[in-house]
Chain A
């Protein structure tokens, strides 16, 4: 009797130990693990689309603002076209009045690097899929790689324009063994990396995905060329910039939408013939703009200056309007930023249809970038012609017309800068446009930034803002404190030390 029990228990024990290991191996049932992903071309596509999805918002479980919220603030708060709304936070206000501290969470770059990591994941793992999936062609792999490279470059371009020197991470983070301190990379090195990646992507990219929505929502060869033009312009390589702009123009894929239908077509519906790259918000994923611009306690208003000085009004004939201004960029009366909030002239969006796209690049950008480059290489007339095309389409008012001499580089550049303010109002480009012009030829035009202070900063703080802006390093945001404490090798921008 006893022996039986001993034997039985011994058996149970042996059986248990041998199967323990197996018993303890559990896999998640509501997600997929890496070893089982990256098996088919559909997996690659899903991962590439994931990179785009991250442009619309932070994934569930991550506490962060949407990327476009940051893009708007980085591109507009320090410039002269927005004014504080009643719901503006102290952090936002501080950026606006040039009281920027490294403790300000708006200086966090995590939303950009999150997308960069998703792109890196594709770049690291997609090539191996070809070995397992025979139906995965080299051409489609190339196209996916081009998208990931280009999107990563776009993110780095925001990084380098906003922070200057920054960490450069080109490998994905997929295990905790890969955590290491990166330190800071010079902005020139980052820019070179961006150019190299974009050129590689240009050679691999698809020309079209079959319909206009996909071509605007995803990155095509032309998107990459537009980005390259922008990067070259920033790097003051004007001939390269013109070359890229011409590639896009000569493709004949894009055209300006006529002024009469422009607002509805370009901004309300989206994916118009002038759209080059737009972040595709839709009914399922709304943009964060309603809360930012619409309710009583909105965070941001248009500055009164926008209608008064940038677009100007024709007080004789009130039907004569710049189509980009009144009831398009700004709603008069309450100065609501209307670009993302309107359905048409009179009707504004309700929160459930707040899905205006984010316009990363539109065709006028190509034209005006080319104009800006032309002006710098002595092709003043070409530049003025291009500006005229953009102005004529929108019916720009006579009051905003300038007649600089074809040889007056600065005069033309200023004119283009003004036109860009009208064309790309509230598209997150204003600060970068000013900075690009100001820093040209070793900060020859620092006055552009200093001049803007009188519009953007309350009078009692203007002097201190001007003093700060005289230091070139202050044009870049500080590295957020959390980053520095997590990686001690990151060197803070000397202005904020």
Chain B
């Protein structure tokens, strides 16, 4: 830290010295009048300044009421400059010994409304170099934030879904404040860190919270607000995809880099914009579940099928239905729809007001936003205030400051526990509110301490288990997070040699604090007061303090027209500190005492105080150069040295080179005859980048305290083993690319083929023989490939005065496979094929991940005769006594004899037993193609209709929801599909009999495997921009309104809720299982945006 300050102050001192050299010249006076060039009126208040040769302001005055000014000039060689809002600035008028200079200003009103961008689009990889889009040598996709502004999205990542090829974004849950997972070109690491690096205005932006933040009920959802930049503040987003592009960002960029630039002020009078978005969202009707009456038919039958003993409804009064026993009868004879009881219509409002403008010297952009959302599950909401000020100040032609300050305040009410899951399985004959012994409805939630379904408890790792009244949980328990984050960013640019050598320094601070308070009142669970689950209060605070610096030296020599050269030297540091403190107590005297500061019980190994402190630092040095020759040959190379505090001394530094080239074949003479080709280029890149582990301090053997003492004495234990062998995981990326632009750039596209080979693949938690005392170790274990291709095309199909039709299309494929692996790595997944609900997977070197195996489901045994085992020819198998042999399961280890009504699996080898020898290939969860497309139609320039579709084809999904809602294995509620279950000898159906806690009716089989291909109509927007005449009447600069519908239709053969399931690759056995109970909500949004 100290060093950073030293560095900054040295720089500032240097600048101050330079400042003072300008003084001490002879003084003369210049006077004159400033008028409008059109109507010759005088201009009052125009600023007239004396500037030196670097355009640094030396002295300045304003014109008086008659437009006159008098300026004392300190150096006759200096120039004067006149500016006024609404007029073009008169620049650098030489004095040449004159004492009277009259100036006419030209009004600039036209320029304000129609800014025509003539310059070519440039891509900034975030490090400071600007490269023409058409000259870049790497794979980069850019999207203008305008395209996204019509969607209802709290965070920009939500809006990006499906827009860019090779970028896969999926929501973790539909509740407000839930996080998103972003993946660029698949997963090149099994490190758990698969999120890309996000760079905002040139500096890395932290979106993860360190390990150890898993206290109480806080889970992944707690991190959601990390990317809390108001979408309307964003100007554009670029995605750096190939390794050569991300190599400049080093280790943190090896999962791809997302570059976000926020809006900045431009010269002109103040412009105020206001945007509004409002939307309504509704959970579509979910899986139909049994009613209370149907459920109470199922459970006794299910219980009796187990071993012929009927359910004793004298003791299990939940199914007694005795009107004499009013308490039990009233409370357990309902038909409650728990899902609709915890659902509601969600709404959202998003207001954003911004002001921007500026003059020659200073420019500003300031915005204030409010975002409020009520989730579709009761008890969830989010409100957020964001503010941002981006200031640019040009001290002189050579020295510029930028100061950006962003502040966010978030209040988020989340669920204490995922009530939706419990609501699905909750017994529907139970009521929401309790009836008393006289059968009268009371105002209390019906939360029995336990019933046949079980009871609420925390397991020994503090995870919520068991069941409870979901409405009581959602309404009575609290889980409230309050977050504040402030990010000041300072930037200084100095042209050491004008147009040749520029130095920039960035310092960004990121102060992020969050407090989460939770409270679990007695009524939410119904547990007795002696338990520590009752009135449990927790407070969790965390503070993150990051300091990042970046010092660049940019060299841009102007050679002759044939050569283009840019070179960059960069030095970057980051220091990241994280502190968290947590407190928990329980059994406060009343459910109204909700703060852990109120005395309660604190002595227990679950209830405790805790704190975590971690810190890590990185440094990096980078040298990068781009060279272009004849507008045809481009080459770029870089070398990056990374240092990371997460490694032991031997492996602390890593050196990673990159090289990328582009050959514009269309620039060659022999291509000139193809007039329709504007650009045709080939690209090639190769780069290495290192990836550091996620955890701090793993190279130490640390000793920690047990959470409990032994007879009052504290015990210490060795917490880990020292990871001396751990080294950088290196991604070697190769990318072949093709870019083209045809027919006056009406057809523009890219194609890419890539392979990211991860060597020294780092695997956290590699399974270890537990006789070591540990069951897992983090290790570099092998080589993994992540390969695929992408194709992307944008066309203007029609372009006339009235009509304009654009169409964009992208398609991609990505696969992961293991090339080499440590023998310690298991060759098959942990799942046991002889247990219900499990699928088998095998690790096959050089084959893509995602294949799964299981039994072949053939329906249900309709009667006893059908369970006879048969040989290849269909003849019954006889035992030595000549009796028929019946089908068995897993003989001899389990030796279960199949009964009529049981699920029938194909006996592949005809040995009369269903076991691991009968499993077959069932499917692969790697999509063949993924992508999206959409047209956009503009009429008259002000009515715009756009739509977007996304698709995925050629893969299989495991319908986990179907498995859970039709297994009839426990006391949970089931879907209405089980109404057609097998009941009597001879029934022909596809749903086996109900069998409580036994049997093999839901083994991993083809029954649950379905084609997951889909085409989804993700959005449609109709936008209308009001025309100029109307705007003039209402005195506005711009006004548009629009309406958007999201998640309208999904075309698929898949029978589950939503075929769009993200596969999170955490090991070689990651497959797509759909456990979602609810499809994504349908959302209708209306919005207004205006400028005045």
Contact = CB atoms under 8 A, between A and B. Distances in A.
User: Does chain A bind chain B?
Assistant: yes
Interface of A: 1-2, 4-5, 8-9, 12-13, 15-16, 19-21, 23-35, 37, 43, 45-54, 56-63, 65-66, 87, 90, 99, 101, 103, 108-110, 113-114, 116-118, 120-121, 166-167, 169, 172-179, 181-182, 213-214, 217-218, 280, 282-286, 288, 291, 295-297, 350-352, 464, 481-483, 485-488, 490
A32 B834 contact: no
B14 A5 contact: yes
Contacts of B537: none
Interface stretch (B201-209, B241-249, B702-710, B1050-1058): B702-710
B375 to A, nearest CB: 31
The interface size bin for chain B is 35 or more
Given A26-B616, A280-B711, A485 B826 contact: yes
B590 interface: no
A46 B700 contact: no
A178 B701 CA distance: 13
Contacts of B830: 481-482
A436 B920 CA distance: 45
Given A103-B834, A286-B605, A113 B460 contact: no
Given A59-B707, A118-B718, A217-B710, 6 more contacts: A33-B700, A46-B715, A49-B710, A65-B460, A179-B777, A352-B604
Contacts of A54: 706, 715, 717
B772 interface: yes
B450 interface: yes
Nearest to B462: A60
Nearest to B890: A101
Contacts of B701: 33-34, 174-175
Nearest to A48: B715
A175 B710 contact: no
Contact of B700 (A12, A27, A99): A27
Contacts of A13: 571
B23 to A, nearest CB: 16
A176 B603 contact: no
Contacts of B767: 482, 485-486
Nearest to B531: A351
B129 to A, nearest CB: 18
B715 A50 contact: yes
Contacts of A172: 718, 773
Contacts of A60: 707
A20 B643 contact: yes
Contact of A28 (B702, B711, B834): B702
A232 to B, nearest CB: 25
Given A24-B652, A50-B716, A286-B604, A176 B769 contact: no
B711 A29 contact: no
A424 B456 CA distance: 33
B115 interface: no
Contact of B457 (A2, A283, A291): A291
B713 A49 contact: yes
Given A37-B716, A49-B715, A176-B721, A29 B645 contact: no
A174 B772 CA distance: 9
Contacts of B796: none
Contact of B722 (A5, A48, A52, A176): A176
Given A15-B3, A175-B722, A295-B455, A24 B645 contact: yes
B314 interface: no
A28 B571 contact: no
8 contacts: A15-B3, A23-B3, A26-B616, A53-B708, A90-B997, A108-B770, A114-B774, A217-B710
A13 B834 CA distance: 63
Contacts of B674: none
B553 interface: yes
Contacts of B744: none
A53 B717 CA distance: 9
Interface in B439-471: 450, 454-455, 457, 460-461
A24 B455 contact: no
Contacts of A30: 611-613
Contacts of A121: 718
A172 B460 CA distance: 27
B304 interface: no
Interface in B1-43: 3, 7, 10-11, 14, 18
Q: Could you say which of A286, A296, A352 has the most chain B C-beta atoms within 10 Å of its C-beta?
A: A352
B645 A53 contact: no
B1012 to A, nearest CB: 29
A48 B713 CA distance: 10
B617 A26 contact: yes
Nearest to A484: B769
Q: Could you say which of B10, B616, B721, B828 has the most chain A C-beta atoms within 10 Å of its C-beta?
A: B721
A54 B605 CA distance: 13
Contact of A464 (B707, B722, B892): B892
B532 interface: yes
B717 A284 contact: no
Given A27-B697, A464-B892, A486-B768, A34 B496 contact: no
A25 B700 CA distance: 11
Interface of B: 3, 7, 10-11, 14, 18, 450, 454-455, 457, 460-461, 496-497, 503, 528, 530-532, 551, 553, 571, 601, 603-605, 611-619, 643-645, 649, 652, 696-697, 700-704, 706-711, 713-719, 721-726, 767-775, 777, 779, 823-824, 826-828, 830, 832, 834-835, 892-895, 997
B708 to A, nearest CB: 4
B721 A28 contact: no
A57 B347 CA distance: 47
Contacts of B612: 30
Nearest to A24: B645
A116 B644 CA distance: 34
Contacts of B553: 9
A160 B7 CA distance: 65
A20 B653 CA distance: 10
Nearest to A116: B773
Nearest to A159: B771
A492 B240 CA distance: 50
A34 B461 contact: no
A296 B450 contact: yes
B538 to A, nearest CB: 16
A26 to B, nearest CB: 5
B724 A280 contact: no
A49 B707 contact: no
Contacts of A110: 770, 775
Nearest to B772: A173
Contacts of B711: 213-214, 217-218, 280, 282
Nearest to B532: A352
B530 A56 contact: no
Contact of B704 (A31, A52, A116, A464): A31
A13 B619 CA distance: 12
A113 B770 contact: yes
B960 to A, nearest CB: 19
A56 to B, nearest CB: 7
A76 B624 CA distance: 69
A284 B773 contact: no
A217 B710 CA distance: 8
Contact of B773 (A45, A53, A117): A117
A52 B712 CA distance: 12
A158 to B, nearest CB: 13
A474 to B, nearest CB: 11
B11 to A, nearest CB: 8
A156 to B, nearest CB: 11
Q: Could you say which of A101, A176, A178, A488 has the most chain B C-beta atoms within 10 Å of its C-beta?
A: A176
B3 A16 contact: yes
Given A46-B715, A182-B769, A5 B724 contact: no
A25 B725 contact: no
Contacts of B779: 176
Contacts of A352: 530-532, 601, 604
B769 A63 contact: no
